[in-house]
Amino acid sequence: MRTVFIGLSVDGFIARRNGALDFLPEAPEDHGYEALMASVDALVMGRATFETVLGFGGPWPYGDKRIVVLTSRPLDVSAIAGRVEVMGGDPAEVVARLAASGAQNLYVDGGATVQRFLAAGLIDRLILTRVPVLIGEGIPLFGPLPGDVRLRHVATRSFPSGLVQSEYAVEPASR
């Protein structure tokens, strides 16, 4: 199972153009993040998301979870040696390599990364949490696709803060 679990503005952006996340709630009520993290074998994120997380400068937020950072360029992770693996290659290669090392359940994170996995038919489930704000422009979650990706609505729940979370399964024919 490969899952996208992500917060976005109602107009579909996961960050401002400069990467800022200030429009996301700082301390949202429990909307399933911890449960999802506990259920996955690894978190696969794009380099830009990784750099954002490092830029927060706080304690390492992922505990002992296996973290895989995707990039096509050299990436110096010496400051957090042993906590992350760096990988490149197309999404199918990444998935195959991770499966061979025992990681089947993946949390896929980052805008460009999610778009590449979706285009490659490698996402099974989308859990989208809409934050009640329009920001006009930013880094979009979705982008061009080689064909339609059919989704089956699984559930929608809303939270007192105004977050609205919808879960979709990607129809098998779209994978």
Ligand X SMILES: NC(=O)c1ccc[n+]([C@@H]2O[C@H](COP(=O)([O-])OP(=O)(O)OC[C@H]3O[C@@H](n4cnc5c(N)ncnc54)[C@H](OP(=O)(O)O)[C@@H]3O)[C@@H](O)[C@H]2O)c1
SS3 171: coil
Whole-angstrom Cα distance, residue 118 to residue 122? 6
**Residue entry with tokens 């960050």:** 15
Residue 103 CA: distances (Å) to CA of 11, 40, 107, 143: 33, 8, 10, 27
132 binds ligand X (CB under 6 A): no
Query: Residue with the closest Cβ to ligand X?
Result: 46
User: For ligand X, which residue of 68, 98, 139, 149 counts as binding (CB under 6 A)?
Assistant: 139
Binding mask 69-108 for ligand X (x = CB under 6 A): -xxxx--------------xxxx--x--------------
CB of 172 to ligand X, least distance (A): 23
129 closest CA partner among 149, 155, 105: 155
Selected from 37, 86, 103, 112, the binder of ligand X by CB under 6 A is 112
**Minimum gap (Å) between residue 99 Cβ and ligand X:** 15
User: Which of 109-136 are b and which e, b meaning 16 or more Cβ less than 10 Å from the residue's Cβ?
Assistant: bbbebbbbbbbebbbbbbbbbbbeeebe
For 163, phi and psi rounded to 5 degrees?
-65, 140
Query: Quick one: which of 7, 67, 123, 127 contacts ligand X (CB under 6 A)?
Result: 7
Q: Which is nearer to ligand X, 48 or 149 (CB)?
A: 48
Question: For binding to ligand X (CB under 6 A), which residues are involved?
Answer: 6-8, 14-15, 19, 21, 24, 45-49, 52, 70-73, 88-91, 94, 109-113, 116, 139
